[in-house]
Structures are given as structure tokens and as C-alpha cells.
Amino acid sequence: MKKIMFVCHGNICRSPMAEFVMKKLVAERGLEREFLIESSATHTDEIWLGRGNPIYPPAREQLIIHSVDFDENKRAVLLEKEDYKKYDLFVCMDGENIRSMKRIFGFDPDGKCVKLMDFTKRGGDVSDPWYTRDFALAFSDIYEGCNALLEELLNNNKEF
């Protein structure tokens, strides 16, 4: 089983969109039993008194528009140092997320921390809708990245 954790700053926009897009892509191929897919945050901005905020409404709207099922009860959770042992791959949205993950883990000896868009031909970062307010562009980046990641995992039988 491949265990993938999608990661962004607050776990209310990009990483939950990626989590549910990837779950859909995996389900479309009948591979649900071969993957564990989750998402988390590198900061506590969206977690108050131990309870995370739900998926941000404009991000939820993009999932609905694109017929991507999601868990209505999904709440932001914080990435923890212990997660490094539990997951095979940590897929983040931008360079800041990489730095934050390495701060949390204190290391990345197995090269598990990667950027989603690095699996695409263009590379770079997933557009951050928190600042751009363009949730459609972020969804497009995420969809492209998740497709490319899944193809990489399946076509190259890549183990992480």
C-alpha cells in the first residue's frame, strides 16, 4: 500500500483539494485498496484549541463543480514529526511547504518530501488561492499534478 500525505500551510484549501482529487483518480482506476491518501497542515493557523477548521468554502465549491466527492467532516490537522515513519510520500504545494515539513521532521533522509508540480512538465508551485483568490486555477494545478503523480506511481511502479 502506498501511503501519501498531501501538505499545505493550513490544510483548508490546496492539500484537502489534492487529497480528494487523488482519491477520485485512484477510485476511477479501482485502486482504492492500494493507496492511503490524507492531508495535513504545516502550521496551526487553521487549528484552534485542538480543532481544525473545515475545508474553505471556495475550495469546497471547486470540488463540487468538478464532481469530486469529499468528506464533509474533513478538518485541518497538523503534520507531526511521527508522520514521517507512517507515510511513504509527502506531497506539498510549494517551496515554503517543503521548508516547513523539513522543520517539522528535522530531516528528510529518505527523500519523501516533494512538490506536486514537480511531477508535471512545467514544475513550480501550485497557485495559492489564499492570496490570489483564484480557486479555479489552484484546482487546475492540483488536478494536473495529481494526474501526473498517479501516472508516475503506476507507470514506473515507483516505490517511495
Residue from 13, 14, 83, 113 carrying the catalytic annotation: 14
8 is catalytic: yes
Q: Please name which of 133, 147, 136 lies closest in space to residue 61, comparing C-alpha atoms.
A: 136
45 is catalytic: no
Residue from 83, 125, 128, 141 carrying the catalytic annotation: 128
Q: Cite the DSSP H helix spans in the chain.
A: 14-28, 57-65, 83-86, 95-105, 129-132, 135-155
Distance separating alpha carbons of residues 1 and 119, to the nearest angstrom: 20
33 is catalytic: no
Catalytic residues: 8, 14, 128
